Amino acid sequence: MLRLALKMLYGDRAKYMMLVCGLSFCALLMSQQISVFCGLLLWTNATVRNIRVPVWVADAKVEQVNEVVPMREIEVQRVRSVSGVEWAVPLYWSLLQTRLPDGTFQAVQLTGIDSATLVGRPTKMRAGNVEDLRLPNAVIVDQVAIAKFAKRGIALKLGSTFEINDKEARVVGICETERSFLGQPYVFTTYSRALEYSPPQRKLLSFVLVQPKPSVSIPELLARISAMGGLRAFSSDQLKWDTFMWYVKNTGIPISFGTVVILGIVVGIAIAGQTFYLFVHENLRFMAALKAMGAGFGTLAQMVFLQAFTVGFTGYGIGVGIAALFGNAVLKKGEPPFYMPWQVLVFTGVIILLICCLSAFVGLLKIARTEAAMVFK
């Protein structure tokens, strides 16, 4: 009987292809949009992933990593005095304008790391050495800077120079970084030089990077630092999550992508439900004949669900496959953002499964109301 159900499904090629295309489009739209949404949120905490330290300390009012409230440099010494701190170093982070050789401007994310330890250094270098940051006017730029400068006809390479706040910056290294939500390139230099590049103001410290002692747990150290007053300590995972949630709560990104996903679900339900209902309606005489020959409702239900799930699994595989190909293509270009965790595949699969179940139930209602005697009419 189940083989007969598949023959009935594949026999009507037009409706079979329409069902597969509808569910494929639904799976593609959901998985692609959710993956772009996840990739966009992943960009929001790029600074945390580029500067890999276990504990971050910021002003008590800071809620996420891209929100900087400058602090006094004495805060570094205060943090170092906390019991359980192995070491603590300053970090400068700010958006500044650079003047290119052709006179145009480019915003960059200037990151100043401790000159003694170079904690927070880039982990992937394409050219040059991180230690060269200690040379006069030295900076390291990322692959985004190379691309943005190239669009303006400037080939940025080792030895190239540009200006930050009317001061010379000489490229001594090229690194790879995680792209930022702000879209601007990262420029790394030492903390003291970053203060020279920055506009003068009373408070310039952005974060304090901390390493806990092996004998102290991170939650315990976070509580000790936060209890000092005026400071807030984050673990790296907590800062990532807080940044995620800040953008979810304070921007329209979830609504924009959520609307598209809901439309995909609605389109999938409409196309699959209507097409499957028509498919069952046209094959109703065969179902009635099976009823007349003694097939029970349970057997007919198995046939209908097999047909629905066969179409669903095929459409799901095609849709998710196309989304993955799209993601592979855009990842090579670096934009738009794309990140497809396994949860996206599970969510898409569950939605497709629900659509198939709904479509099967619609068809079964029609079969349940059909009398076996209609085959003789």
How do residues 83-99 score in pLDDT, each as one tens digit? 999 999 999 999 998 88
Model confidence at 294: pLDDT above 70: no
Model confidence at 127: pLDDT above 70: yes
Q: Does residue 319 lie in a domain region?
A: yes
Q: Crossing angle, helix 2-11 and helix 13-44, to 10 degrees?
A: 90
Give the torsion through C-alpha atoms of 348, 350, 354, 360, to 10 deg: 100
Q: Are residues 218 and 72 in the same domain?
A: yes
Enter the pTM of the model. 0.80
Q: Are residues 263 and 367 in the same domain?
A: yes
**Domains held by the chain: number:** 2
Predicted local confidence at residue 12, as pLDDT: 65
Q: Does residue 242 lie in a domain region?
A: no
CA angle 81, 87, 92 (to 5 degrees): 100
Q: Please state the rounded mean pLDDT for residues 345-351.
A: 89
Contacts of residue 73, defined as CB under 8 A and 6 or more positions apart, other chains included, come to: 90, 204, 205
CA distance 356 to 136: 66
Please name every residue paired with 187 in a beta bridge, in sequence order, or none if there are none. 110, 141
Count of C-beta atoms within a 10 Å radius of residue 29? 20
Predicted local confidence at residue 190, as pLDDT: 93
- Total residues belonging to the chain: 377
Q: Are residues 197 and 256 in the same domain?
A: no
Checking DSSP bridges between strand 167-176 and strand 105-113, what pairing results, if any?
Answer: unpaired
Predicted local confidence at residue 375, as pLDDT: 46
Q: Does residue 337 lie in a domain region?
A: yes
Model confidence at 115: pLDDT above 60: yes
Q: Does residue 130 lie in a domain region?
A: yes
Q: Are residues 167 and 39 in the same domain?
A: no
Q: Are residues 150 and 68 in the same domain?
A: yes
Share of the chain above pLDDT 70, in %: 85
Q: Are residues 158 and 292 in the same domain?
A: no
Predicted local confidence at residue 224, as pLDDT: 92
Predicted local confidence at residue 278, as pLDDT: 67
Predicted local confidence at residue 252, as pLDDT: 81
Q: Are residues 99 and 179 in the same domain?
A: yes
The CA distances from residue 363 to 277, 359, 370, in Å, are 5, 6, 11
Q: Does residue 247 lie in a domain region?
A: no
Looking at per-residue pLDDT, the higher value among 26 and 282 belongs to 26
Q: Are residues 165 and 263 in the same domain?
A: no
Predicted local confidence at residue 259, as pLDDT: 85
**Average pLDDT value for the chain:** 83
In this structure, of 40-44, 56-60, 138-142, 220-224, the range with the lowest mean pLDDT score is 40-44
Model confidence at 187: pLDDT above 90: yes
Q: Does residue 245 lie in a domain region?
A: no
Model confidence at 61: pLDDT above 50: yes
Q: Among 229, 263, 284, where does a domain finish? A: 229
Structural domain boundaries enclosing 17: 2-44+252-376
Q: Are residues 116 and 188 in the same domain?
A: yes
Q: Are residues 209 and 263 in the same domain?
A: no
Predicted local confidence at residue 171, as pLDDT: 93
Looking at per-residue pLDDT, the higher value among 280 and 71 belongs to 71
Predicted local confidence at residue 219, as pLDDT: 92
Q: Please state the rounded mean pLDDT for residues 257-271.
A: 80
Q: 133: burial class by Cβ within 10 Å (0-12, 13-18, 19+)?
A: buried
Looking at per-residue pLDDT, the higher value among 287 and 105 belongs to 105
Q: Are residues 206 and 96 in the same domain?
A: yes
Secondary structure (DSSP) of 38-91? HHHHHHHTHHHHHS--SEEEEETT--STT----B-THHHHHHHTSTTEEEEEEE
Q: Does residue 355 lie in a domain region?
A: yes
Predicted local confidence at residue 293, as pLDDT: 57
Predicted local confidence at residue 376, as pLDDT: 47
Model confidence at 142: pLDDT above 60: yes
Q: Are residues 169 and 306 in the same domain?
A: no
Model confidence at 6: pLDDT above 90: no
